[in-house]
Structure 1
Amino acid sequence: MHPMIKIKHLIVLLVCTVTAFTSCKKKETYDPDPQFRADTTAIRAFVVANKIPAIKDPATGVFYQIITPGSGSVKINNSTMVTVNYTGRFLNGNVFDQSNGTPIVFPLGNLIAGWQVGVPFIQPGGRIRLIIPSVLGYGNSDRGPIPANSILDFTIDLISAK
């Protein structure tokens, strides 16, 4: 065998070996706990700095401010169809999504966990502000204009719930 061909074979073998070992490397897993703690610290600082009278839901970590409670006695759960107007912002105030005054209808169960937690705190005609840790938003995934690990700040007007 020609020495040049031998060297090429050794290089190919080396590349294959390195590829095999690196592809066997265990994938890093996402641990939401440190991110949740960091988000909670950032939300607390944001709430204090902006004098927002928000309450932290102890079961989930969602911060909320009931601006208007609404009226009625609708039992809102994940199968409830909610009609809302909303604005979603990052903590820096930049808007990433909004309904622009055109009511949107969603099954609550199809929305992010932070909405599933917070919307039932109000009734139709109510308005709530939800400041949602990333783990109850989109987690460590990018979603369109929303970067991974983003804390989300929503103002939601609940028009109806059926």
Structure 2
Amino acid sequence: MKYSFLAIIAVLFMSCSDKDSEEEAVDYTEQNESQIKSYITAHDLDATRSDSGLYYVINEEGTGKQPTASSNVTVAYKGYYTDQTIFDKSKDAGVSFNLSQTIKGWIEGIPYFKEGGSGLLLVPAHLGYGSKDYYNIPGGSVLIFEIKLISVN
């Protein structure tokens, strides 16, 4: 996909600094919560909500090592919006990176899985890219990731 490289860079090297939260002009929390709940209902998902507002679905827990928020991992993923428009997709072999250099939704969500595990992360804007447009991702977007944790490196 033409934006794949940019989205990978964005996911892998997204800064989680306090500056990002200061720039948040619009609070999408209630809107995102409603969008996520509607998506879960429409797709009959058995999702769990964390205290932060991240929703996750474990399709396969996996049996290998379980990463921490600062682990180096290899993940295959497909990212799309609630209307199922894909904004990024990795190769089947996945992409390797340090979780601490990704969006908050991945830092929190990937450690719910063990190696070989797969599922969904439903990421509200405050755990993704916030209220500002970020490359091809519109501000306030709920991001859904189908993920497979290939390895904890």
Query: What's the TM-score once normalised by structure 2's chain length?
Result: 0.80
Q: Is the 8 A contact 2:56 2:122 kept in 1?
A: yes
Q: Distance in 2 between matches of 1:126 and 1:94?
A: 24
Q: Distance in 2 between matches of 1:81 and 1:54?
A: 26
Higher normalized helix content (fraction of residues):
1
Structure 2 unaligned segments of length 5 or more: list them.
Answer: 1-21
Partner of 1:30: 24
Deviation of 1:102 (Å): 3.3
Partner of 2:99: 108
Larger Rg: 1
Q: Distance in 1 between matches of 2:91 and 2:100?
A: 22
> Do residues 144 (structure 1) and 135 (structure 2) align?
yes
Partner of 2:61: 69
Q: Distance in 1 between matches of 2:24 and 2:32?
A: 15
Counting only pairs closer than 5 Å after superposition, residues 79-158 of structure 1 correspond to structure 2 as 79-158=70-149
Deviation of 1:29 (Å): 6.3
Q: Is the 8 A contact 1:133 1:150 kept in 2?
A: yes
Aligned residues: 132
Structure 1 unaligned segments of length 5 or more: list them.
Answer: 1-27
Deviation of 1:42 (Å): 1.3
Percent identity, aligned pairs only? Answer: 33
Q: Secondary structure at the match of 1:109?
A: helix
User: CA-atom RMSD, angstroms?
Assistant: 1.7
Deviation digits for residues 79-110 of structure 1 (CA, Å, limit 9, x no counterpart): 20010110000000010001031321010000
Moved over 3 A (4+): 28-32
